[in-house]
Structures are given as structure tokens and as C-alpha cells.
Structure 1
Amino acid sequence: MIHYAIVGCGHIANKHVEAIRAAEGAVLTAVCDRDPSRMEPFLAKGIQSFTDMGRMLASTSVDVVNICTPSGLHAPLAIQAANAGKHVVVEKPIALTLEDADAIIQACEGNGVQLAVVHPNRFRPVMKELRRRVDAGAFGRFSHANATVRWNRNQEYYDQAPWRGTRKMDGGVLMNQAIHNLDLLLWLMGDVEEVFSYHETRLRDIEAEDVSVSVLRFTSGALGVIEAAVTLYPRNLEETLSLFGESGTAVVGGSTANWIRAWAFGDQTEREREETIYRIDHDPYGQPGHHAIIQDMTDAVRENRVPAVTGKDGRKALELVLACQRSAEWGRPVSLDALR
């Protein structure tokens, strides 16, 4: 069995608990949080609980540590786990600075442990199908792509925890809400060369931006648009990813990007198109993304292989967010090479 520990017992930790319980060959051994009250449900189930991560690492037979704390705390905790010889699963974003992301990656590589970043949307049935279409060359040359997140996070959401909406711990709408969609954009379209962005804090009483719009050029020459907002009234409207090429069009959307809204390829018959849409419509969620991440990490540890979503993948998404934020702050285009 691969033994897991969770550090940070807030809301997102529940998904990790469910995923560990569902994974074949995995078991939750310990939890850690500075607030003892958050660990009471685990104590009742006989799971070891700690308020100090160092003590947990020293006194348990943990193989993998899942970092589920606010984003600004990811780096020191992930590095501490790696230095103790533990494999690491870190929630998105991998960190809030490239320096911290690089330090996590280097600590894991230096200690010979695996590192996975939680970008679970890659495992959605429609995204796996979309990746197969990209790998088959079905789009031909890409012309452009759009990534859109139009969600609602009201003031009550931000007031629930003091770290939410801050630059130091949250990072803003691109970093906290839209980064999964940006990971998908990069996974499917390849690297970005340059961005030009605007962002504002329009409607929420927070430090970070609540709306952001960017245009970008991929290294392939294709263009792109990113729109992200948590200001939608009165609830989440959509998460959409659209890819356009010389021989293919795909639009995936809904309140979360799980459903096909447009699907046309020169190498597919109408019947094949309808069969794809039917298959996705009847199983839009598939295996929950966190379950897929934990099962993959469990298998990666057993097989001594790299996880499906690596630290470098997490760094790429972070790099794009930071480029957009710097462009908005500086009022000019930003080359991603300048960040590397």
C-alpha cells in the first residue's frame, strides 16, 4: 500500500480524502493542520493527526504528502516533504512565483521523489478525446484558441477566509480560478510566446484582480484569447475552451468545460461526429479528476515513473499566469522567454 498524508484540512482536502479512499493500493495514514478542530473528523476515524508537519514526517510511515494549504504556503511545505524523502502531490497552482515553483521541482528531483500537480481537468472524457484529436493532427494548422472562465465568486466567498483574494496567498482570478483552463490550453495548443493583458478589481472588495482579459501568441504562430472573471451575476455562467484549425473546430463548454458545443473535423464522418457527441453527453464527468490524479500518483510511485501531470506542467501554467499579470501591470506585451 502507498501511504498518504494530507497537509491542510480545508475545503479541498475533502476531494483528496475521497480520491485516496477510491484509489487502488492507497491509504490515508495521517493529516496535518495548525487548527486542531479541522482534524476532529479524522481522529474519530482513527487517522493520525498532527499540528506540526515535522513531527508527522518523523513519526509516520508516509510515502506521499498532499499539500492542500493556501497557495502561498505550497513551496515551503512541499520542499520540507521532499527533503524528508516523501513524494509530493501539490494542489494548483504549484506556487505563486517561478522561484518557488523551481525550488519545489529541484527539491523533488534532488531527493529522488515524484512530484504531481493537481490539474485534474485533463482527465475529463471530452478533454482526453480532444487531446486524441490534437495528437492525430485532426486540426491541421491552428489559427487560434479561446479560454473563457465566467464564474461567480461573491463577496461572501472571499470573506470566508482571510487569505482569499490576496496576492500573497490567493493570486487572483487567473491564478486561483482560471488556471485549470490555462493548463488545458497549454496542454492542447503548446507553449505561448507573448501575451498582452488587462486586469482590474472591479466588483469584489479584494486585493487581487477579479477580471482579466489577455491576447496571446503561441510559439506555433497561432493566436489566443483568455477571458477570466469571478464577477458574473448571479452564478457561474460558463467555462469554455475553443480550438480552431484549418481542418477542425472544437468548442467545449457548459458551466464547467465538460460538454461538446461544436465538433467538426475533415477526417470524420457525420456519424463519427454524432457518436463522439453521444458518448461524451452520456458520461461527461468520467472518473473524478482528483481520483485520477491520486491513482496515477499511486501507480507512478509503485512503477518508479513520472506522474501524468508533472511539476514542469504546473510551472508552465504558473508562468503563463505571471506573464499575463505582469503585462497588465506594466501596460505592454510580455515575452515568456523573459520569465524563463
Structure 2
Amino acid sequence: MSDPFKIAVVGVGLVGRRHVDAIQSLQNVSLTAVVDQTPEGETYAAKIGAPYFSDLSQMLQTVSPNGVILATPTPLHIEQGLTCVAYGCPLLVEKPIAVDAASALKLVHAAEVSDVPLLVGHHRRHNPLIAAAKQAIDANKIGEIRGIQGSCWFYKPDGYFDVAPWRKKKGAGPISVNLVHDIDLMRYLAGEIIQVHAYAQPSLRGFDNEDVAAAVMTFQNGAIATISVSDSIVSPWSWELTSGEYPIYPTTQESSYLIGGSHGSISIPDLRLWSHEEGQRDWWTPISATSLMTAASDPLVNQIAHFVKVARKEASPLVSGWEGLKTLQVIEAIQKSCTSGVSVTIAEPTSMQSEIALAPKISDISQKILQK
């Protein structure tokens, strides 16, 4: 048996603590350190008996972990990610990978040229429900995808915003905070999105951000998707309330995604596969559903187990830095379309040559960081 894989968690808010719980549930994986700049973080580290650091570089020098999970606020991801790359330490960055795609490109490019594994925490891809849907789609069970409908509707109570006033600010609305998950799954299941046209309405509660938005998206394969998101709609139709993924949310028997193809359709996450009898594709013949079966497991635990394999060069990343960047590009396009009122075309990240040229050389990053 190999030595335990040592993981340090940077940022131990709600998400960071879920990562700690997931690490502690895995065999041959250990929590080697907690990095957090808050008194609450230091208290939490003492409570669970983990070495505590307030500085990322100091931790990397002292502990030399096999991997780092960045569960810090998004504006910190790039600087902290580049620090991990400079030390040659594999990293898993919580979603979204960065505040904007141009910044994300700097980290993705640096990790790539330095051959440092970089994963992005779109953990829903690691859910067995999504794995089963992906397998059915790839096996041509529904034929060529033509249309997608997605709902991301729920009601966040006033207290959710009162305890963290930044959630009321521009840029912290449900497009960036919630829809990013759903967009990533649509890309994963249906392919690349090349154009969007979106709309948003101001918050009814008087916040600086939107509380409802909708987008029409065109895929490279010709499919068209419609999706809407709101944190001010009382509804059973969201991933949180339909997947049973996280116990703090009550579960319903509804679905949040419908994916339609030329030979059938699938609803997710209930995994009902709809089709006519063989050779009888017409709306006058009966249509029936078959429920796909899959075992349940915690996607966060699955994600960390996968992270270990990728860091050890035993597997390719399911959600690479490039994947996180492409999903962020779609979110940016939706936000831009909401503001401008026009359709936005999404460029290939590899075509962003000017941004790549401006990306810092990893040797310069290393020298700057290691001289601190």
C-alpha cells in the first residue's frame, strides 16, 4: 500500500469543511494542514486537531503536501493557485476557477507549462447520477441531441443574504453563484456552447444584482438549450432539491434538466429514459420510460479520490483547468448578453493569444514567491 496522500485545505468556510469531512472519510488520504486567515479557521483547525497556518507559502514550505484544495473566495484563486504551481503542488480549485476568464487563463496556462495537475471543483460531474446520464447519452440512447431545458429555481431566505451582505452586491447574483454548476453540466453532457442570448431582471428585494435570468444557448453540435435561474422563486425544480446530493436540502421527486434527442429523451436527475418502440418514432405511437439504475455515493468524496489519482498521474482530470475556464466563459457571455441585450459568441480559449502572451512566466512566479 502506498503512503497516505497528504492534502491541505485552504479556506475552511462551509465548502472547505465539507472537503475536510470528505478527506476524513477516505482511506489512505490524510488532512495534513488547514490554511485560513480568520480566528474561526484557527479555532476549527484546533478542534479537529489539524496543523494550522495563516499563510499558504509558509504551509507549502513547512508541510510539503501532496495536494492542495483551494476553497477560498473566488478573487483569491489565481494568486493562491499560482503559488501552488510555483511549488509544484497539484491543486483542486473550487468553482468558479476565477473572477474572469482572462485571469483563469493565466493559472491554466501556468499549470500546463509547469506540468502541475489542476482540477476545478465542479463536483456534480462526480455524481453517479450524472455519470449514468453521460453513459446513456454517449451510448446514443437518445440519438442526436437537439434540445435541452434546464431549471434552477429556489427561494433563498432573507437571512441568507443578511449574514453575508456581499451576496447582495453586483456580480454575486444567481448567475455567477448558482447557474455556473448547471452550465458546466450542460457542457459536459451536450458539448460546447458557442453562442448565448440572455436576459435578467433586477432583484425584487432591492439588491444590486439580478434575482432571475434566462438564456438561450446554441451548441457546436446544433442543439439549442433554454435555461433559467432564480433565487426568488418558490419551486421544486432545481438540482439541489431533486438530486438528494446534499442532505441539508429537502428532496422532491421532480427533475431539473430535460435533454431531448432524435431517438429519445432523458430527464435528470430521475434518469427516466423516454422512447417509442423500435422503429416507431412518431407522436401517434405510445411512448414509455425506462428508469436507469445507479448506486448512490457522495460526489465530493468521489472528487477527492479522483484528485488523488490525477495528482499521482494515474488518471486524466474529469474537470481540468481548461474545463473550468470554458464554463466560466459561458457565464461571462450570459452576463454580457444580459447587459448589452445582444447575442454573444464564445471564443475558443486557445484562441486568446493576447491573454496567453500576458500570462506570467512560471519561472518569474517561482522566483517572486520563493524570495518572499
Q: Same fold (TM over 0.5)?
A: yes
Change (3 A) 1:88 1:249: same
CA shift for structure 1 position 94: 1.0
Structure 2 counterpart SS, 1:104: helix
1:89 corresponds to which of 80, 83, 92: 92
Aligned twin of 1:255: none
Cα drift, residue 47 of structure 1: 1.0
Listed one character per residue, the Cα deviations across residues 140-168 of structure 1 (whole Å, up to 9, x for unaligned) are 22221112100122332122124324346
Residues of 1 paired with 2:68 and 2:169: CA distance?
Answer: 25
Distance 2:315 2:170 in 1: 35
Alignment TM-score, normalising by the size of structure 1: 0.88
Give the C-alpha shift of residue 247 in structure 1.
Answer: 0.2
The question of whether the paired residues in 2 share the 8 Å contact of 1:146 and 1:224 is answered with: yes
Choose which of 248, 262, 266 in structure 2 pairs with 1:250. 266
Runs of 4+ in 1 over 4 A off after TM superposition: none
Is residue 67–residue 89 contact of structure 2 (8 Å, CA) maintained in 1?
Answer: yes
Which residue does the alignment assign to 1:296? 306
For residues 231-242 of structure 1, the aligned pairs below 5 Å read 231-233=232-234, 237-239=237-239, 240-242=256-258
Q: Helix, strand or coil: the match of 2:194?
A: strand
In 1: Cα distance, 2:156 partner to 2:42 partner? 27
Counting only pairs closer than 5 Å after superposition, residues 202-221 of structure 1 correspond to structure 2 as 202-221=203-222
Give the deviation of 1:34 after TM superposition.
Answer: 1.1
Q: CA deviation at 1:296?
A: 0.2
Partners of 1:116 and 1:311 within 8 A in 2: yes
Written as runs of structure 1 = structure 2, the 5 A alignment for 1:185-200 is 185-200=186-201
Q: Shift of residue 265 of structure 1?
A: 3.7
**Cα distance in structure 1, aligned partners of 2:264 and 2:33:** 48
Counterpart contact for 1:241–1:251, Cα < 8 Å? yes
Quick one: distance in 2 between partners of 1:82 and 1:31? 18
**What is the count of residue pairs matched by the alignment?**
324
Give per-residue Cα distances to partners, 1:153-209, cap 9 Å, x unaligned.
2332122124324346x4x21221121111110111111121110012222443332
Distance in 2, Cα, partners of 1:108 & 1:147: 33
Contact 2:126–2:300 at 8 Å: present in 1 too? Answer: no
Aligned counterparts of 2:168 and 2:27: Cα–Cα separation in 1: 37
Displacement of 1:122: 1.6
Contact 1:146 1:226 in 2 (8 A): yes
Deviation at 1:74, TM superposition (A): 1.4
Hey, what's the Cα distance between the residues in 2 that align with 1:287 and 1:87? 24
- Cα distance change, pair 306–125 in 1 and its aligned pair in 2 (3 A): closer
Q: Is the 8 A contact 1:9 1:39 kept in 2?
A: no
Partner of 2:225: 224
- Distance in 1 between residues matched to 2:230 and 2:197, nearest whole Å: 17
1:98 aligns with 2:64: no
Q: Which residue of 2 aligns with 1:321?
A: 331
Q: Distance in 2 between matches of 1:55 and 1:162?
A: 31
Deviation of 1:273 after TM superposition, in Å, equals 5.3
SS for the counterpart of 2:225 is strand
What RMSD, in angstroms, separates the aligned Cα atoms of the two structures? Answer: 2.3
1:334 match: 344
Give yes or no for the alignment of 1:178 onto 2:179.
Answer: yes
Give the letter aligned to residue 247 of structure 1.
H
Confirm or deny that 1:259 pairs with 2:275: no
Q: Extract unaligned runs of 5+ from structure 1.
A: 253-257
Secondary structure at the aligned position of 2:347 is classed as helix
Letter in 1 for 2:6: H
CA contact under 8 A between 2:260 and 2:266: conserved in structure 1? yes
Q: Distance in 2 between matches of 1:221 and 1:237?
A: 26
Contact 1:123-1:287 at 8 Å conserved across structures:
no
Residue 318 of structure 1: CA displacement? 0.7
Match status 1:146 vs 2:124:
no
Instruction: Determine the C-alpha separation between the residues in 1 that align with 2:316 and 2:216.
Output: 33
Identity %: 26
| Alpha-carbon distance, 1:105 to partner | 0.8
Between the aligned partners of 1:237 and 1:265, the Cα distance in structure 2 is 23
Give CA deviations for 1:211-256 in whole Å, capped at 9, x if unaligned: 11011111111111010111123x764331110011011112xxxx
Secondary structure of the residue aligned to 1:73 is helix
- When Rg is computed on C-alpha atoms for both structures, the one with the higher figure is 2
Structure-2 change in CA distance of 1:190 and 1:5 (3 Å): same
State the secondary structure of the residue aligned to 1:197. Answer: strand
